[in-house]
Amino acid sequence: MSVPLPPAFRYRRVDVGGVTINCAVGGAGPPLLLLHGYPQTHLIWHEVAPLLLDRHTVVLTDLRGYGDSDKPASGPGDPQYAKRTMAADQLAVMAALGFDRFAVAGHDRGARVAHRLALDAPGAVTALAVLDIVPTRHAFEHAGKDFGLGYFHWFFLAAGNGIPEQLIGNDPEFWITTRMRARHHGGTAFDPAAVAEYVRCFSDPAAIAASCADYRAAAGIDLVHDAADAGAGNLVRAPLLALWGEHSFVGRSYDVPAVWRGYATTVSGAALPADHYLPEEVPGQVADALREFFSDTGG
């Protein structure tokens, strides 16, 4: 079973201050960084990225703690997995590749990293697309029973005392495949080769620990950073495109563009006929939306 990324992409490993980030680069034209979510790797974009090669230099990365990127141990307060730290990784990767300004699109956790990147490095991000999320701060501030049931993994993964690490570690394949199947609605089926890669990478205990630290940071230090931005009136200045699944919890629960207008100055958006995993469920529609948006915004 081959890894589903075409040979137009070349892999590189980039050191960003002692942490090595795995990435694949292909195409030509304005740079576009694509960031994955949980529990995937850069391969969530395997159907979308090839459709963007004719217009962009496409950069796919594994976030720190995920895929084949380094997985530093987390300390108290989880600063190693603060979105600010993870965003700084991506800024450094793009700089190492020779890009000081670039567009970025992120799904799930990668969209949260992309959101932070646009806030912390506004001079670098030309345009931002976020897939199937609302901002972390908004999600926690408006959490209720439905959120707790629909997004129970946010609280489970953030639990302490090694509980999620131990339970997931007993059968990581079961955890990954059941989470993914539960949030898929028709459309393109998951590629078995991609799923096998997700399972391979996530079966590393260090990856499980890192991903839990990611979620603990979201419920802790990330909210501190987000509250500081809110208090300072700091918004995303780059044009922002929000895409979401019409069958996803996000699509059913929020007026997505209205929420993002509280966090960004210029917002557009659209629902797509999918659940959560837009790049794998409706890759053609995602690619079309990204091509149009980045073309219109000069990203």
Beta strands 240-245 and 125-131: pairing type?
A: parallel
The active-site residue out of 70, 78, 108, 214 is: 108
The torsion region of residue 29 among left (phi > 0), alpha (psi -120 to 50) and beta comes to left
Question: Which three-class secondary structure state does DSSP give residue 64?
Answer: coil
Whether 108 is catalytic is yes
Catalytic-residue membership of 276: yes
CA–chain centroid gap for 285, Å, is 18
Residue 258: how many other CB atoms lie within 10 Å: 11
Can you spell out the DSSP letters for 72-140? PPP-TT-GGG-HHHHHHHHHHHHHHTT-SSEEEEEETHHHHHHHHHHHH-TTTEEEEEEES---HHHHH
Alpha helices in the chain (DSSP H): 83-96, 109-120, 136-141, 145-150, 152-157, 163-170, 172-181, 192-202, 205-218, 221-232, 249-253, 256-260, 278-281, 283-297
d(CA 297, CA 263): 18
Cβ neighbours of residue 102 under 8 Å, at least 6 residues apart?
30, 31, 32, 33, 59, 94, 124, 125, 126, 299
| 163-170 vs 172-181: helix crossing angle, rounded to 10 | 90
Cβ proximity of 61 and 22 under 8 Å: yes
Instruction: Give the active site residues.
Output: 108, 276
